[in-house]
Amino acid sequence: MSPARGPRVVLGVAGGIAAYKAAVLLRELTESGHDVTVVPTAASERFVGRATFEALSGHPVATDVWTGAEQVPHVRLGRHADLVVVAPATADLLARAAHGLADDLLTNVLLTATCPVLLAPAMHTEMWQHPAVQDNVALLRSRGVTVLEPASGRLTGADTGPGRLPEPSEIAAACRRLLGSGARRGDLAGRRVVVSAGGTREPLDPVRFLGNRSSGRQGVALAAAAAARGARVTLVAAHLEVPAPSAVHVVPVGTALELREAVLAAAAGADAVVMAAAVADFRPATRAESKIKKSEDPARDPVVVLERNPDVLAELVATRSTGTGTGTTSAGGGTGARGPVLVGFAAETGDASGSVLQHGRAKLARKGCDLLVLNEVGEGRGFATATNEVVLLGADGTERTVPESSKDVVADAVWDAVVPMLTAITPQVPETPETGAP
Ligand code: CTP
């Protein structure tokens, strides 16, 4: 990699309607410092003209091996790339890549690339689910190629289903992950993890609720990072402002009580649970059946009485220490002594009674989890200013500061801290098969 120029990325674009989204991905990659050369297929030029890619990348664009042949582009591009990403990857492109065809520049680049390769498929649901396509995907994955799951949703026509190209921001995050984390690839393979994300809403009446400002971005980044590292991920999602990653199982929830139920159910058999959600500590003691109205007499305006919500993280810790409740877990190793690795989040401010770190350490001890992701808020630091750092506090006394970073980087740092804990307390091969009786 050339640090002066930023990571070199080859962006392949195959001939599907989603090719227009490749321009957005290209923009995102170049703006974050990547040096991108676009290699479209001839068919993709029916959707997006090469001038768009040349202007946005600052590099000439070719589809065949004959243009600029004196520079042997089919070998040079693949050999010098730090990452090759193809978005969209059509059924035809997947087939040609899987079977080693070399009939245009992009397939030649795929054969000469020694760097990580990421394919983002997009096609109609029937095509994606066809055994021929699935076999090609399996073959590519068996060779170490990262093939993203397509998103579900509206396709080109009126039909909906799996086959949509994941959002360009999601593909860009997957690119960054592959570029930055060669050693991390697959280190969560065979693991089942649960991530809670977003903010719960506690209804007052049919139209009003008590909520919080959590967008769910950090939890979504954690889920995406875990999936990219090979885990099977359940994302318990409370009112996300961002789309959930396509490769995870999403359980939508509304209130803290619903979140509790979903997290405890998913935690059974999980290797790690990361509680990134902002769970309301209180809910209105009563929920009005109809909209609460003003009364004639202001003195008779309603007073909201709050009731405490259960502390889900504390419950997970308690369940783990008694070895009950969340069922048999691979992390328990059959002894019942330990359950999943438990990670909490805390947004704290320093005050007269202690510094942020002191409050974080106290919360870690109080909660009894294995890792606390501590986020300083207030005093000019916080969500709006993005000047906060994250400190990872381990129950074993370890402390790691992640300097001001994107949520993807924080997510990988959290999993970096979790992975050794998994090795220490869980058998690599679960003692109880997940699919059947012992
Ligand atoms: N949490 C939870 N259940 C709750 C509240 C919080 O599981 N009812 C989890 C959060 O998801 C987070 C961690 O606990 O991972 C810490 O959340 P925080 O609100 O900081 O903790 P509290 O114990 O509520 O502490 P405080 O009194 O400082 O609000």
Residue 387 has pLDDT above 80, yes or no: no
What average pLDDT score do residues 388-405 get?
87
- In order, the DSSP letters of 168-230 are HHHHHHHHHHHHH-GGGTTTTTT-EEEEEEEB--EESSSS-EE-----SHHHHHHHHHHHHTT
| Ligand 1 contact, 346 CB (< 6 A) | yes
Q: Give the percent of the chain with pLDDT over 90.
A: 63
Name which of 141-155, 285-299, 381-395 the model is least confident about: 381-395
**Which residue's alpha carbon is nearest to atom 27 within ligand 1?**
281
* 417 Cα: distance to centroid of ligand 1 (angstroms): 20
* 129 Cα: distance to centroid of ligand 1 (angstroms): 41
* Confidence at residue 181, expressed as pLDDT on a 0 to 100 scale: 59
| Ligand 1 contact, 107 CB (< 6 A) | no
**What token pair was written down for 141?**
């994955």
Greater confidence (171 vs 247) lies with 171
Atom of ligand 1 nearest to the CA of 314: 7
Q: Closest Cα to residue 371, out of 402, 392, 349?
A: 392
| Ligand 1 contact, 256 CB (< 6 A) | yes
Q: Could you say which of 136, 212, 375, 388 is catalytic?
A: 212
* 344 Cα: distance to centroid of ligand 1 (angstroms): 8
**Which residue's alpha carbon is nearest to atom 9 within ligand 1?**
313
* 263 Cα: distance to centroid of ligand 1 (angstroms): 14
Q: How does residue 386 score in pLDDT terms, banded at 50, 70 and 90?
A: very low
Q: Using one digit for the tens of pLDDT, what is the confidence trace for 235-286?
A: 999 999 888 887 799 999 999 999 999 999 999 999 999 999 999 999 999 9
Q: Which residue has the tokens 């109080």?
A: 366
Q: Give the percent of the chain with pLDDT over 70.
A: 88
Atom of ligand 1 nearest to the CA of 316: 7
Active site residue 212: yes
Q: Can you list the domains of the chain with their CATH numbers?
A: 8-184 (3.40.50.1950), 192-424 (3.40.50.10300)
Q: Phi/psi class of residue 327: alpha, beta or left (left: φ > 0; alpha: ψ in -120 to 50)?
A: left
Atom of ligand 1 nearest to the CA of 372: 15
* Confidence at residue 137, expressed as pLDDT on a 0 to 100 scale: 93
Distance set, CA 46 to CA 84, 92, 104, 331 (Å): 22, 15, 16, 52
* 276 Cα: distance to centroid of ligand 1 (angstroms): 9
Q: How does residue 74 score in pLDDT terms, banded at 50, 70 and 90?
A: confident
CA pair distance 311, 330, nearest whole angstrom = 24
| Ligand 1 contact, 53 CB (< 6 A) | no
What average pLDDT score do residues 370-378 get?
89
* Confidence at residue 380, expressed as pLDDT on a 0 to 100 scale: 54
CB 94 within 8 A of CB 137: yes
**What token pair was written down for 409?**
């980087």
Q: How does residue 177 score in pLDDT terms, banded at 50, 70 and 90?
A: confident
Q: Which pTM value belongs to this model?
A: 0.71
* Confidence at residue 54, expressed as pLDDT on a 0 to 100 scale: 97
| Ligand 1 contact, 313 CB (< 6 A) | yes
* 311 Cα: distance to centroid of ligand 1 (angstroms): 7
CA pair distance 45, 274, nearest whole angstrom = 44
When mean pLDDT is compared over 28-42, 63-77, 336-350, the highest value belongs to 28-42
CA pair distance 15, 390, nearest whole angstrom = 42
CA pair distance 230, 245, nearest whole angstrom = 14
Q: How does residue 5 score in pLDDT terms, banded at 50, 70 and 90?
A: low
What average pLDDT score do residues 60-68 get?
87
Task: Using DSSP bridges, classify how beta strands 341-348 and 390-394 pair: parallel, antiparallel or unpaired.
Answer: unpaired
φ, ψ of residue 96 to 5 degrees: the values are -65, -40
Atom of ligand 1 nearest to the CA of 281: 8
* Confidence at residue 128, expressed as pLDDT on a 0 to 100 scale: 95
| Ligand 1 contact, 279 CB (< 6 A) | yes
Q: Using one digit for the tens of pLDDT, what is the confidence trace for 202-215?
A: 999 999 999 998 98
